[in-house]
Amino acid sequence: MRFGIFIYDGVEAIDLATFGVLSMARRIRADIEICTIAPQGGVVTLANGLRVIADHDLASAPRLDVLIVTGGPGWTAQVHAAPTLAFIRRLAAEIPIVSVCTGGMILAASGVLDGKAATTKREVVPPEIAPLTRLRTEYPSVEARDASLVDEGDIVTGGGVSLCIDTVLHVLKKLFGVEMAAETARIIEYQRAWAANLREFPPLLATKPLVAPE
């Protein structure tokens, strides 16, 4: 199963924990594949200046089973990037889409969250406006929810920053089962934090299952 992680200039480095969780999960499920996709491919400069090299651009992206859209300050440019939004719309018609942090704002701009509940980053440094507040005011067709993640079945939106770990574990649980996700949480030594987050800041779960294409 191939996971594609969409990155772009201005992504927060911590959002690449999505890649890290999947990398550790691959120790349990060797069939997991991971690639990175960027608007133009090549070198991507993250919000802290770290540079990474994307595997593919939008045109050369391989067939995916799940797309994960990351967040970071660069989201404000991506919500106006027509190729990015078209890419997300196309894949949303074919495969499950997952966002972490302000990646949810990009999904909202693409229109794939219209008529759905969703969440995004909540906590900010004043005078910045919380992205969740902006989601609520700028995209009224989206039901913005205060939750660690919102599972709409074919689309999962995660909350801010470190909750990207919880979001990926949630997706692993839905795709591969509780035991596999729990074992992944154990080997990344996150099982206590995950349990605490589930208890103190629970997800909003839909009834429709997340099923990757055959």
Which domains can be identified in the chain, with CATH numbers? 2-205 (3.40.50.880)
Supply the pTM of this predicted model.
Answer: 0.95
Closest of 122, 115, 120, 134 to residue 206, by C-alpha: 115
Q: What pLDDT is stored for residue 207 in this prediction? A: 53
| % of residues, the chain, pLDDT over 70 | 96
**Per-residue buried b or exposed e for 109-121, using 16+ beta carbons within 10 Å of the residue's own CB:** bbebbeebbbbbb
The CA angle 53-73-47, to the nearest 5 degrees, is: 45
Does residue 213 have a pLDDT over 50?
Answer: no
What's the mean pLDDT in 61-66?
98
